[in-house]
Structure 1
Amino acid sequence: MFGRQSRAAWAAGLLVGVVGAGVLGGTPASAVEGDQPQDGAYSFTAKLDIGGKQSCSAALVDQEWLITAASCFADNPAKSLKIAAGAPKLKTTAVIGRTDLNSTGGVVANVVELVPRDDRDVVMAKLDKPVTGVTPVAIGSTAPAQGEELRVAGYGRTKSEWFPNRLHTAQFTVGGVKATSLDLVGKSADAAVCKGDTGGPAFREANGRIELAAVNSQSWQTGCLGANPAETRKGAVDTRVDDLVGWMQSLLSRGLLSKANWKNAEYLASGYFTGGSANGTRRMDLLVRWADDSVTLYQGADHSDPKYPFSAVYKLADAGSTFKHVRAITAGRFSADGTDGVIIRWVDGEVSQYTHVDAKGFHDEKMLAKPKNGVWENAKLITAGRYTGNALRDDLLVVWVNGSVSIYSDLGANALGKETQILKANSTWTHAEQIGSGEFTGSRTSDLMVRWSDGEGTIYSGVDTAGLHGEIMVRKPKETWTNAKLITVGAFAANVVPNDVLVRWSDGNVSMYTGVDKAGTHAEVQLVG
């Protein structure tokens, strides 16, 4: 494997405790010396052919992204591991999900972009097409501990083959743990990291779950075919990735929203569904009901790039699902357990509450109003917010078709609680097209944002059971917001106050206005389009 110091330094014995140098050698060989996994095992491992001159291993961490060692692409890794971001200098082909390279399974794709780290031997490699049928490996966020066992995989040489055709793996024990790397020692006499294994994954296995902890970087190559026969030192140095989750998510987020046709988004709801919280690092999630009646959940990211506020996407309902009957939806905290759920007004007037929503779906359904009740068929818009100061549950604010506005407080498990009409029927509020609850002004209760039919955007900074107070115009009438077809309020750019407003426009583009407050909507970040 590659060494970080010069050949002269290595020869002088200055790499004690580190791994030796040496170029990556001609054509590929087959990974780690050890056992041969069964077909289909560890299918997230990939083999890289770099210009037909050298070979490395990698791991699939997303449908369109691999992680591997930057040294695979360095001009002279014995002198420097730095590489330029962008397209690789040499055509690079990846074979993913093919335990036996002689088979036809898996996916073959080209690497079209490299995004390296400057502080360690690691690079993210973007593929020219999504990989389907192969589950990416999860990224562990826990630092490897001394004495912990990790399995290492790759397509490099073995002790008897220059060009193996199968994936190999071996068990290693973590020795020293440094800021960006860790030392590995083979558990068996034959365990070794060989040429061609560079960039391959080192991962933990527990309770049926696999988590990536590091990627192969350097090795003494003792026991590998073609290694220095006088070398007796063993072990390897791997590059840690557990502290790179945020950086990796920021890359995986790129293009996440643009994969969908947002003209088909018909309902939006935002909340902390997948483990985020106002006190944590993960941003708010976004729930979307599409025109084909499917439902998608976009998980909020925990990195700081506002251009990519979501890090993962999950399908919660397929096309043609019962969610075709949705006529209004809002998200909020409706239970004391600290998780967010949704309230839905269905086409027949039924009102349902799901006390929790996550990546696996909707949970704990409660009927709050029966179908065909003669009242809720007239609920035009709904939004959940902290309007009464209840510390445990949100309230429900409703705009009715006749222009009246109500707040339902003290929502119970099977009831809508107490209704307080805060505005009588009027012609003005029949022009309310979109509403959303948020924190914009620092008032003691949630603020209410309204997008009117003429495009005006208004914030009410004081909303409680006594009425609507503190009206602030943040977007003028008859301007761009006449084309704002959907809005939702949330902490999408950062978990801070004031909140952001996400807008789906009539042309299918999506924007986010960050840090909206009484002075206006401020910076617009284009997310789609």
Structure 2
Amino acid sequence: MFGTKPRSAWLTGVLTTGIAAGLLTAAPAHAVVGPAAKDGEYAFTAQLDIGGQRSCTGALVDPQWVITAARCFADRPDQSTEVEPGAPKLKTVATIGRTDMSGDEGQTADIVELVPRADRDVVMARLAKPVTGITPVTVATNAAAQGETLRVTGYGRTEDEWAPERLHSAEFTVKAADTTLLKIGGADPANAAICAGDTGGPAFRTVSGRPELVALNSTSWQAGCFGADAAETRRDATSTRVDNLNLWVQNVRYRPVFAAAPWEKATHIASGYFTGGSAGGSRHMDMIVRWNDAEVTLYQGSDDKDPRHPFAAEYQLAEPPKPGKTTIWQHAKQITGASFGGGTDGLVVRWGDGELTQYTHVDAKGFHGEKMLAKAKNTLWPHAQQITAGRYSANQQRDDLLVTWDDGRVTLHPDIDTNGVADKAQKVIVNKNTTWTHATHISAGEFTGTKTMDLLVRWSDGEATLYPGVDTAGFHGETNVRPKKSYWTNTNAMAGGAYAANDRANDVIIPWANGSVSLYPGVDASGTHEEIKIVN
């Protein structure tokens, strides 16, 4: 950090429109002491009117998201940066792309949701409608170096204006940095200061003609600002770093996109570390979804510790067929994520003609390492009903395939990468038990902490059963986790994975027939526990 200063001396740049402000202007006060911006310049800068009581600055980082200082929305901005997630307490209007506040260019939108960052003075603010025609600023990925010059923009006070009409900007030099903060000072100390109303304003560099957001205004001594203590001579300010929040910003931006997907049309899902990451890492597992129109989507796991937001991005792996055309994915009957060694996961697909295909690796660019496990038009595999891959044998480096059949059999195929699915390698766990013809969804998972993986089964009547520690010797007990005729009759698909704590694949994710999606974190031997609606 940069040393401790008395709180009473360290002034926030939030502009509060109290009685004195009301005597001067009925409008919210609007900038960094420095030259006025040219028309259309730095259009990504946003002016925030918070209930007619405060004015702040922010930056558009997505057509529907502005990033700014959390203290702008705190009950006591001069004392706290704590903000509750959700709708702001005061009606807040964002104006973006309006260099001259007396004009009508740019766009306005209400802020309807706040997503604060716990470890620093940052909040993402969602707009009620996307902004069009204004390019959002890119969040930098490189930290600011000591001595680097950044440009700061803001709608706050200037040296001689309480409520300036135009956006202002000035250059500031980085004097010191730590993991969350920058200490900055004016490149021209006599003509640059961060004032009330500039809080949350962007500090950015320009690379190849494009701005990169590095930090946000947080606090300032405000020397040289209109209305500031005439005895104050310090012009330094503290900005909050965002260059190391790139993934978090991406996670937050993606939330409404994920929620808007037509989850009632999801027919198959598969879990795995397809795009990198591993158990115990910082990222949640990825998920592959096959939709009823044969489109296939890969959802990349996020690094958000909040289990309500397990995904950060999506990639289309297969397009739906064009009118009058067909695609191979129309014929996919079952899919399961599987580990074949090598650090990232692949996929096993059972097709309608009985072909069984192994893809040794799947990533954002598609399917790789195709290997045929069973030829097309064979007489056996069209009778497979459900498949799931997991560590069910002594080989803990590669997955095994567990299969339920339409005659009630259950078979285990150890180390499918080496042995394939040949009869000589398979183990028959259940031999023609009609009960198993009712297994509607099955999923491997690490629910009970046993040496080998467990099996979760959802039956056609809505009952769900957990089989702990399945291995080549078969089943070793069972736990009923949902009764007959439970709500689980409405599942579209089901998969186990590491979507919450990231260390074990003991969470269950379910898209429902009504379009909602549930996550059950930390399922164990006693059954399912808390249900989190990640899509309502």
The TM-score, its normalising length taken from structure 2, stands at 0.77
Among 368, 374, 398, the residue aligned to 1:364 = 368
Structure 1 residues 487, 70: CA separation in 2 closer, same or farther (over 3 Å shift)? closer
> In structure 2, what residue type is equivalent to 1:174?
V
> In structure 2, what residue type is equivalent to 1:334?
F
Among 497, 501, 506, the residue aligned to 1:499 = 506
> In structure 2, what residue type is equivalent to 1:491?
A
Deviations 1:278-324 (A, max 9, x none): 11132222222222333333333434434443344444444437433
2 CA distance for matches of 1:289 and 1:324?
A: 9
How many residues were matched structurally? Answer: 514
Deviates more, 1:315-324 or 1:453-462: 315-324
Give unpaired runs (5+ residues) of structure 2. Answer: none
Contact 2:31 2:169 in 1 (8 A): no
> In structure 2, what residue type is equivalent to 1:362?
G
Q: Secondary structure at the match of 1:485?
A: coil
Q: Secondary structure at the match of 2:488?
A: helix
Structure 1 residues 132, 265: CA separation in 2 closer, same or farther (over 3 Å shift)? farther
| Overall identity of the aligned pairs, in % | 52
Structure 1 residues 378, 60: CA separation in 2 closer, same or farther (over 3 Å shift)? farther
Look up the match of 1:454: 461
Q: Secondary structure at the match of 1:521?
A: coil
Deviates more, 1:308-317 or 1:391-400: 308-317
Among 325, 335, 341, the residue aligned to 2:346 = 341
CA apart distance, 1:518: 2.4
Correspondence list, 1:12-31, <5 A? none
The TM-score, its normalising length taken from structure 1, stands at 0.77
> In structure 2, what residue type is equivalent to 1:502?
I
1 CA distance for matches of 2:195 and 2:249?
A: 26
Contact 2:271 2:286 in 1 (8 A): yes
Among 511, 526, 529, the residue aligned to 1:519 = 526
Deviates more, 1:66-75 or 1:225-234: 225-234
Correspondence list, 1:237-248, <5 A? 237-241=238-242
2 CA distance for matches of 1:264 and 1:395?
A: 29
Deviates more, 1:484-493 or 1:29-38: 29-38
Look up the match of 2:67: 67
Q: Secondary structure at the match of 1:377?
A: helix
> In structure 2, what residue type is equivalent to 1:66?
V
> In structure 1, what residue type is equivalent to 2:440?
E
Structure 1 residues 72, 320: CA separation in 2 closer, same or farther (over 3 Å shift)? same
CA RMSD across the alignment: 4.5
Deviates more, 1:138-147 or 1:479-488: 138-147
> In structure 2, what residue type is equivalent to 1:409?
P
2 CA distance for matches of 1:258 and 1:453?
A: 27
2 CA distance for matches of 1:102 and 1:224?
A: 21
CA apart distance, 1:511: 2.5
Deviates more, 1:463-472 or 1:183-192: 183-192
CA apart distance, 1:435: 0.8
Contact 2:458 2:465 in 1 (8 A): yes
Deviations 1:38-90 (A, max 9, x none): 97x97654333445676432134555432212454568856776777765565
Structure 1 residues 60, 269: CA separation in 2 closer, same or farther (over 3 Å shift)? farther
> In structure 1, what residue type is equivalent to 2:217?
N
Look up the match of 1:128: 128
Correspondence list, 1:83-98, <5 A? 87-88=87-88, 91-96=91-96
2 CA distance for matches of 1:74 and 1:469?
A: 55
Deviations 1:77-111 (A, max 9, x none): 56776777765565432244678989999753211
CA apart distance, 1:420: 0.6
CA apart distance, 1:385: 0.7
Correspondence list, 1:273-284, <5 A? 273-284=274-285
Give unpaired runs (5+ residues) of structure 1. Answer: none
Correspondence list, 1:59-458, <5 A? 59-61=59-61, 64-73=64-73, 87-88=87-88, 91-96=91-96, 108-114=108-114, 121-131=121-131, 146-147=146-147, 150=150, 152-154=152-154, 163=164, 172-177=172-177, 181-187=181-187, 193=194, 196-203=197-204, 212-219=213-220, 233-241=234-242, 257-320=258-321, 322=327, 323-336=329-342, 338-358=343-363, 360-368=364-372, 369-412=374-417, 419-422=425-428, 423-458=430-465
